Amino acid sequence: MDIEEYVPFSRLTTFRTGGPVRFLLTLKGESEIPEARAFAEKKALPLVPLGGGSNMLAPDQGLEAACVRFAPSSIVVSESEDTRLYAVEAGASWDVLVAHAVADGSWGVENLSAIPGTAGAAVVQNIGAYGAALSDTFEKAVAVDLGNGELVEFSKDDCAFGYRTSVFKENRDRYLITKIFLRLSKTPRPNISYRDLKNRFEGAVPALADIRNAVIEIRKGKFPSLSEFGTAGSFFLNPIVMEAETFSLRARFPEMPVFDLPEGGVKIPLAWLFDHVLNVKGMRIGKAFVWEKQPLVIAAEMGASTRDIVSLSEKIADLLYEKTAIGIIPEVRVIERESR
């Protein structure tokens, strides 16, 4: 186990903001978890799982905690007649996994290309993009209960996946995922239902690598380059409301798209509300601003603070509520209010 002290969150998160975490513990594997638990207990500090830092906004004043993460780790593939089972250690890069699967000719995660972060964190968030979600191919996960040190296996049902959520997100900091298992198809199953992909291929049947390359290109056109700006991608979750709540909005905005959900409720595309109701693109506080090419994205210039980003997000949420009575919540984990 590698132990570092007072490591700035600006080095650990894609927003590149935040003060120092008291300790950063980097584990080589599952066998070092008892040592990490003992260390945190000795220091009387909470043990906070940290993936790739691509969905976290850390406090400017730092955090009195022991953050724990896995070093980049392995991907093992098992063959069956029609599928491949990918056993992926939690510290593996998600996009390295996707590239590996595409190179193997395995279908199911190509639409999730170029999403930053680790494989373990991808399960916590149930990442999704371009008509696909991690839960579509998920088989099981193994995690350690940080409270008692027990190893627990989670089936797909156990994970209680929903829109950008899971049992791991609902029980934040209780579990540390050690390994995930995805079952991918050897049979071509192109998913180009998402408008940008449908327009890109115009009725053609794309190859697996073509879909991955198209997704990467689309994302480059919509999202800030991490070499230039800090960001966590889409900052807010699309709101899900009861159908009755949309009646007055539809009367005011007849062109507003809505999507009925199989489990009940209606999802409203937040980007549409931001563009047509608020016109938030370019809005800024300090060195944080709304990305011009995608209104769901908050970007941060060099030297931005977490407070800049939080203030901007709160301003946007307040404005939307004033105009529509719709409340929105961050997709990003915001721990700005937690003190050291």
What pLDDT is stored for residue 243 in this prediction? 87
Candidate list 30, 32, 89, 331, residue with the active-site label = 331
What pLDDT is stored for residue 120 in this prediction? 97
Task: Write out pLDDT tens, residues 119-133.
Answer: 999 999 999 999 999
Q: Is 331 a catalytic residue?
A: yes
Candidate list 135, 139, 164, 217, residue with the active-site label = 164
Task: Write out pLDDT tens, residues 34-82.
Answer: 999 999 999 999 999 999 999 999 999 999 999 999 999 899 999 999 9
pTM, 2 dp: 0.93
Q: Using alpha carbons, select from 305, 331, 17, 46 the residue that is nearest to residue 169.
A: 331
147-to-19, 36, 194, 295, 337 alpha-carbon distances in Å: 26, 12, 41, 39, 23
Task: Write out pLDDT tens, residues 182-238.
Answer: 999 999 999 999 999 999 998 788 999 999 999 999 999 999 999 999 999 999 999
Which pair of tokens denotes residue 92?
A: 């593996």
Candidate list 10, 54, 73, 234, residue with the active-site label = 234
Cβ atoms of 126 and 133 within 8 Å: the answer is yes
Q: How many CB atoms lie within 10 A of CB 245?
A: 16
Task: Write out pLDDT tens, residues 106-163.
Answer: 999 999 999 999 999 999 999 999 999 999 999 999 999 999 999 999 999 999 999 9
Q: How many CB atoms lie within 10 A of CB 243?
A: 12
Is the Cα torsion angle 103, 104, 106, 108 positive or negative in sign?
negative
The Cα–Cα gap between 236 and 281 comes to 14
What pLDDT is stored for residue 336 in this prediction? 53
